Structure 1
Amino acid sequence: MFKGIVKLSKNGKGSLLVSEDLSFKLSRKELFKVFPGDKVECSVQQDKATIQKIIERNTSEVIGKLKKTNKGWIAESVNNEFHLEIVIKKNTSKKLKNGDFCKIKIKKQPSLKHRPEGYIVEQLIFSNIFEEADEIALQTNLNIKRTFPKIILPEINRILREHNSGNFSSKYKDLTDKNFFTIDGKNAKDFDDAICCEQTSNGYKLLVAIADVSAFVSEGSSLDKVAAERATSIYLNSKVIPMLPKELSNDICSLRPLEKRLTLVCEMILDKDCSLKTFKFSSAIIESKKRFTYDELSNLEKDNIDRHPEFSNDLKKLLEICKKRIEKRKQRLAIDFEMNEYRPEVKKGKLKAFVPVTRYLSHKAVEECMILANISAAKFLKENQISTIFRFHDFPDMDKIISLQKFLQSRGLPISEDFNLSRKSIFDWVQKTSKHKINEILALEILKSMKLAIYSSERSEHFALGLDEYLHFTSPIRRYPDLVVHRCIKQIIHNKKFKSLSKNDLADIAENCSFREREADQISKEADKVLRSRCGQNYIGNKFSGIITGVTEFGVFVKLDQINIEGLCHISSFKNKYYNFNYEMKSLVSRQGTISIGDKMSCIIESVHPYEGKISLIPA
């Protein structure tokens, strides 16, 4: 017998997931017994599982789209991985109509004897397309907890009382006279970090102050257990699902301007070339003197700096540090993927296009300061032989790099047949792609060949950054590994005994944090797909030029110019339907010619399925 979680692929095939390395098939008949996410016990013959027992139901509520039938109302979940329609009971409202969205409480779970049944809790009217996209995306993972359990309320009230008393520990140095400032996005509320830059006779003193969440969240407390389980905040277009309650994340932990806050400060001494010479950590009370936004400072040009005379010296030093640290990145052959990010552009209530997000030098300046603090924290804990959680990025697999080499050669890049699998080889390839006319697509293919960065209690190296020791220290409001790191540092600087976490404990925390991070990324991607589909709906029947971004055996993905959304042009819509798929070259090959990534292609948007995030194209 095997215990596992029911999974359903988007093409309707079911499986029992026992572990990341072990799964079994579930027949269509077995899928009538369950919802995706249910925990079950199965018998297994060969590679097929039969459900013997439902251990735990995963679905109590769904958001569904209503449909009227001869026998009454049914609802289809907006999560396209849900395969069963829900029969609506106890509905007397005459206001409902086909296509309405409703929150539905599941009254009767599915079985072979009957379909699932539920009743309408509330009719949903989304205030805008961003809220709609976020709700649909959140339906793809019903394990995400949107509210906090009542058990933590007494703890929150105690924390607020203690904070409001203003009785800070004598272990905190008073650095409120320092010229700390924050730089964040214009809509940010959880300010994790503040920066202070000073000139020294031999270089610079850089202070990075990070919100001291560990001063409020006691290890092993109910609040700590909730934060550990969530592991990360999820940032969507219309909302945030925070790791910590807003009383902490947006208030007493957030480094808001002109308010005294408890922090853990990393003080770093840099030489004139901005090499890291020394560092030390201390608990300190700071007061951020100013909140800047990335847009406000943009590229830290003289005009932007001069608008803030009381910070002009600080910002000039920040600019110098940034430029010199970028050179250091190049010297250590860090792999940088300069790819565009896109944001939705709304005009007159309609989503008209996705436009490139400008990445300013102010973004890079903050990033370099945070990387320096993360490096210092990793070195500090290693030097003191304290077990912790690192940010590990492994070397890529050789077979993927060989495939990547052949693909890049097929696109005309001058890459030698003989190469050593090293950071320098990949660094050189990235440099060569940056000058290519389809550089963004080629850079994406290089990125796909890399392994994912994960959290680890054992390995500390980071391949892409070119570092032997690295971890996350700078965002404890929104990342649980950073909170663990803070506790480890304070254990040393205050001789404070936290609960001693074993290697196994740390390994379990690291695994959960990596898993939750991937979940959050996937939900963000699902919301983005819905928005792009909504954009595509405004242009059904319109013709666009585009560029092929992906090739499969069943067709090609095309990114449409001007609106920057991607759709699938299925091979069945091609005049010539007989192609051979070349995996290494990522091409479709026929006697008439070859279709490859990077080729230009004109397409018409034929249809859009927004709740599935699908845009169907046909050749123009």
Structure 2
Amino acid sequence: MFKDNPLLQQLKQQIKDSLPTAEGQVKATERGFGFLQCEGNKSYFITPAQMKRVMHGDKVSGVIRDGSDGKQSFEPEKLVEAGVDEFIGQIHLNRDGRPAVIPDHPLINFPINAKVNKQISEKLAKQDWVVAKMLRHPLNDRGFYCEIQKFIAKSDDQFARWKATTARHHLAWDAPADLDEYTLAQESLERRDITDVEFFTIDSESTLDMDDALNIEKTDDGWQLLVAIADPSAYITPENPLEKTAKERGFTLYLPAHTVPMLPAHLADELCSLHPEQKRPTLCARIAIDNNGQLSSETEFFAAWMQSKHRLNYDNVSSWVESDGKSDWQPQSDSLATQLKELQAMTAQRTAWRKENAIVFADRPDYSFDINPDGSVADIHCEPRRIGNRMVEEAMIAANISAAKTLNDHFGFAVFNTHAGFDESKIAQVEEIVKQAGIEMTSEELMSFDGFCKLRRLLDDEQMTYLDLRLRKFYSFSEYSAQAKPHFGLGEPCYGTWTSPIRKYGDLLNHRLLKAMLLNEQAQSPLDEELSVHLGECRRAHKFAERNMGDYLYSEFYRHHLKERGIEHGQLFDVTRGGLKVRINETGAVAFVPATKVHAVKDQLNCDSDNGKVFINGECKYQLGDELSVKVCEVKQNGSSLIAELV
């Protein structure tokens, strides 16, 4: 009798209107409840019942109610902005056989009823991977509802997770289709015949797209370094259909056990790749480097036909150099051995010069996964960056610096790689942090190129790991620019790459500018704001995809080998309010140590995320950069994360 009573309804509305309101973002938890995160770090509890009406990431508004226990809770009423629109997930079949989709998200683990787009021809089965789009939300309509818009992979596909990862970041999975035939573009550019020069390549054993070869000679004043770079622009003109593909992809994507090339395989791995004893079109740079490691102000660029004589790999070259020539592997000729020794000597001088005048970051190991035929992880290998890697790296940095300066002097534009150092909006915090460390530098000095380089060199020279890790979160992102701007991260006033045109679209564009310069032709800047943003977004998507796959494979590996791993050692690289993040030295995996596993008494523990320190009873026990011993004790499979405890 009271259900439809208008007076009762009016009274309820009046009570509701008198309640305080809030707006914020929904943060879900694994245990079913959640929180509304508002501005100023204010948060309100959301009960499991109310969480069924919202989703992690939703921006909502609603009312705050007082509970019988005296605690406040939030009740959502209006959807301001949905946290999920398009998403990746796996098929779930309801009891009646109708499909639903479970999002691939650590905090969204319930099935969302779905309809299937008519364009999907595959017969969908349980746990198949798909792309879905949200159509309805409980705050606007009857429950959650989505449409399955694209099929990704069958559940038993060994690369299902790889394909889902590329789909999540809107990246291609397959190599571009090869053209029926490739012909050299009609160019008026004269190519020198330097096929008699003893070039060599140094790459990984598995590399197919070899895009750089080297030759080096000792001179009275230092060295003459000859760098030959594969020239795909000899086949791909701006009108070629592959131009659009290369532009859209931006880069070659490197995932564990799977590479997605920017260019078709036959072009990248055969026609352009600098295989030994194969005549190839290249762009070359002849660079003079003095005995102190300083680059000459003048570099000669020219187009050429070249023919690499030796294919070498990093491990063999490194072992030979590090053992002073006493390794099992030996150079194929005395002249090659002489070149490798001179490249080593040049690398030492260039590194020393850059440490003094630019910036050299410390070597960090790479990690590789051995993948079984079923997609599981057999093993993880730590691969330190050895002298062979550094020798090639120094040669490529020298070539890129020279090209950037030459193009800037000639045209006043190119595709430049830039980095502005610290984020300007956070510079006051940076100034305070360095001041606390006993370093007196003003905001203006810290934002300047010279000031940033001075600070970076100080951090490296004094091995100030704690301060280094604290400051990293204040760095700005690197960008692409048509105008020359400093690259603070490298300590170079002008930097642009051209040494990987098979793998980077920006390098391909710089090749065309170098050719226009050699022909003394007029040219327009190939990089506008739209393309600059696009390449930046592509690069970030690649990094996120690589990180996501790495996190998943780490969780797979530890899930199968948890009992046998034992105690591991790693570096503390981040402190959050909830605990510590440790990078394990042996595998490269990131493990999270919850605060409850740092110290049992909550009131005695302070995880100070702002200062990167952990205090127990007011005493600093751990700080960024500390080497810690941990044991991984749990794998959160859906979240692709590792939980560890301190040992």
> 1:148–1:132: structure 2 CA closer, same or farther, 3 Å change rule?
closer
Query: Per-residue deviation at 1:489?
Result: 1.3
Query: Per-residue deviation at 1:225?
Result: 2.2
Q: For residues 282 and 199 of structure 2, what CA distance do their matches in structure 1 show?
A: 12
1:193 aligns with 2:224: no
Query: Per-residue deviation at 1:67?
Result: 6.5
Query: Per-residue deviation at 1:65?
Result: 6.0
Equivalences for residues 400-549 of structure 1 within 5 A = 400-402=429-431, 404-405=433-434, 409=437, 415-416=438-439, 421=446, 422=451, 423-433=453-463, 439=465, 443-496=468-521, 500-501=524-525, 505-540=527-562, 544=567, 546=569, 548-549=572-573
- SS state of the match for residue 286, structure 1? strand
Q: For residues 176 and 370 of structure 2, what CA distance do their matches in structure 1 show?
A: 37
> 1:122–1:535: structure 2 CA closer, same or farther, 3 Å change rule?
closer
Gaps of 5+ in 2: 1-24, 38-49, 60-77
Query: Per-residue deviation at 1:595?
Result: 4.3
CA RMSD of superposed structures (Å):
4.2
2:58–2:79: 8 Å Cα contact kept in structure 1?
A: no
Q: For residues 379 and 319 of structure 1, what CA distance do their matches in structure 2 show?
A: 25
Match of 1:217 in 2: 236
Query: Per-residue deviation at 1:534?
Result: 1.6
1:178–1:286: 8 Å Cα contact kept in structure 2?
A: yes
2:86–2:132: 8 Å Cα contact kept in structure 1?
A: no
Query: Per-residue deviation at 1:293?
Result: 0.8
Query: Per-residue deviation at 1:28?
Result: 8.6
Query: Per-residue deviation at 1:313?
Result: 2.4
Q: For residues 28 and 163 of structure 2, what CA distance do their matches in structure 1 show?
A: 18
1:123 corresponds, among 143, 147, 154, to: 154
Query: Per-residue deviation at 1:203?
Result: 3.2
Tell me the amino acid that sits aligned with residue 454 of structure 1: E
> 1:442–1:162: structure 2 CA closer, same or farther, 3 Å change rule?
same
Query: Per-residue deviation at 1:454?
Result: 1.8
Match of 2:168 in 1: 140
Match of 1:40 in 2: none
1:35–1:82: 8 Å Cα contact kept in structure 2?
A: no
1:265–1:283: 8 Å Cα contact kept in structure 2?
A: yes
> 1:28–1:484: structure 2 CA closer, same or farther, 3 Å change rule?
farther
Q: For residues 194 and 134 of structure 2, what CA distance do their matches in structure 1 show?
A: 59
Tell me the amino acid that sits aligned with residue 337 of structure 1: A
1:245 corresponds, among 255, 264, 274, to: 264
Query: Per-residue deviation at 1:224?
Result: 1.5
Query: Per-residue deviation at 1:288?
Result: 1.2
2:100–2:112: 8 Å Cα contact kept in structure 1?
A: yes
Percent sequence identity is 23
> 1:175–1:10: structure 2 CA closer, same or farther, 3 Å change rule?
farther
2:27–2:36: 8 Å Cα contact kept in structure 1?
A: yes
> 1:246–1:352: structure 2 CA closer, same or farther, 3 Å change rule?
closer
> 1:169–1:467: structure 2 CA closer, same or farther, 3 Å change rule?
same
Could you tell which deviates more after superposition, 297-306 or 470-479? 297-306
- SS state of the match for residue 276, structure 1? coil
1:133–1:531: 8 Å Cα contact kept in structure 2?
A: no
Q: For residues 383 and 424 of structure 1, what CA distance do their matches in structure 2 show?
A: 27
Query: Per-residue deviation at 1:523?
Result: 0.8
Query: Per-residue deviation at 1:450?
Result: 3.2
Match of 1:288 in 2: 308
Match of 2:637 in 1: 610
* Count of residues paired in the alignment: 557
Q: For residues 374 and 599 of structure 1, what CA distance do their matches in structure 2 show?
A: 36
2:250–2:504: 8 Å Cα contact kept in structure 1?
A: yes
Tell me the amino acid that sits aligned with residue 302 of structure 1: G
- SS state of the match for residue 289, structure 1? strand
Q: For residues 361 and 8 of structure 1, what CA distance do their matches in structure 2 show?
A: 49
> 1:219–1:168: structure 2 CA closer, same or farther, 3 Å change rule?
closer
- SS state of the match for residue 339, structure 1? coil
Tell me the amino acid that sits aligned with residue 574 of structure 2: G
2:276 corresponds, among 222, 232, 257, to: 257
Q: For residues 137 and 179 of structure 1, what CA distance do their matches in structure 2 show?
A: 43
Higher RCO by CA contacts (8 Å cutoff, separation 6 or greater): 1
Tell me the amino acid that sits aligned with residue 162 of structure 2: D
1:35–1:58: 8 Å Cα contact kept in structure 2?
A: no
Query: Per-residue deviation at 1:446?
Result: 4.6
Tell me the amino acid that sits aligned with residue 594 of structure 2: H
Match of 1:569 in 2: 593
Equivalences for residues 102-121 of structure 1 within 5 A = 102-104=128-130, 112=141, 115-118=145-148
1:65–1:78: 8 Å Cα contact kept in structure 2?
A: no
Q: For residues 309 and 386 of structure 2, what CA distance do their matches in structure 1 show?
A: 22
Kindly name which structure, 1 or 2, has the bigger radius of gyration based on alpha carbons: 2
Match of 1:308 in 2: 332
> 1:218–1:110: structure 2 CA closer, same or farther, 3 Å change rule?
farther
TM-score normalized by structure 1? 0.77
Equivalences for residues 21-420 of structure 1 within 5 A = 49=80, 62=88, 64=90, 66=92, 74-78=100-104, 80=106, 85=111, 87=113, 101-104=127-130, 112=141, 115-118=145-148, 123-127=154-158, 131=159, 134-141=162-169, 143-147=170-174, 156-157=179-180, 160-163=181-184, 171-277=190-296, 278-298=298-318, 300=321, 301-303=324-326, 306-309=330-333, 310-344=335-369, 351=377, 354-397=380-423, 398-402=427-431, 404-405=433-434, 409=437, 415-416=438-439
Query: Per-residue deviation at 1:477?
Result: 0.9
> 1:67–1:294: structure 2 CA closer, same or farther, 3 Å change rule?
farther
1:10–1:80: 8 Å Cα contact kept in structure 2?
A: no
Could you tell which deviates more after superposition, 374-383 or 459-468? 459-468
- SS state of the match for residue 154, structure 2? strand
> 1:311–1:123: structure 2 CA closer, same or farther, 3 Å change rule?
same
Q: For residues 373 and 266 of structure 2, what CA distance do their matches in structure 1 show?
A: 35
> 1:565–1:202: structure 2 CA closer, same or farther, 3 Å change rule?
closer
Q: For residues 528 and 479 of structure 2, what CA distance do their matches in structure 1 show?
A: 13
Q: For residues 379 and 587 of structure 1, what CA distance do their matches in structure 2 show?
A: 43
> 1:400–1:272: structure 2 CA closer, same or farther, 3 Å change rule?
same
1:85–1:116: 8 Å Cα contact kept in structure 2?
A: no
1:551 aligns with 2:572: no
Over residues 513-571 of structure 1, what are the superposed CA-to-partner deviations in whole Å (9 max), with x where a residue is unaligned?
12211111111111111121122213546763655432111122234575553322223
Match of 2:12 in 1: none
1:395–1:451: 8 Å Cα contact kept in structure 2?
A: yes
Q: For residues 221 and 35 of structure 1, what CA distance do their matches in structure 2 show?
A: 44
Q: For residues 585 and 636 of structure 2, what CA distance do their matches in structure 1 show?
A: 20
- SS state of the match for residue 521, structure 1? helix
Query: Per-residue deviation at 1:442?
Result: 6.2
Query: Per-residue deviation at 1:449?
Result: 3.9
> 1:69–1:332: structure 2 CA closer, same or farther, 3 Å change rule?
farther
- SS state of the match for residue 473, structure 1? coil
Q: For residues 252 and 27 of structure 2, what CA distance do their matches in structure 1 show?
A: 26
1:540–1:604: 8 Å Cα contact kept in structure 2?
A: no
TM-score normalized by structure 2? 0.74
Gaps of 5+ in 1: 1-6, 16-26, 37-46, 410-414
Q: For residues 587 and 330 of structure 2, what CA distance do their matches in structure 1 show?
A: 37
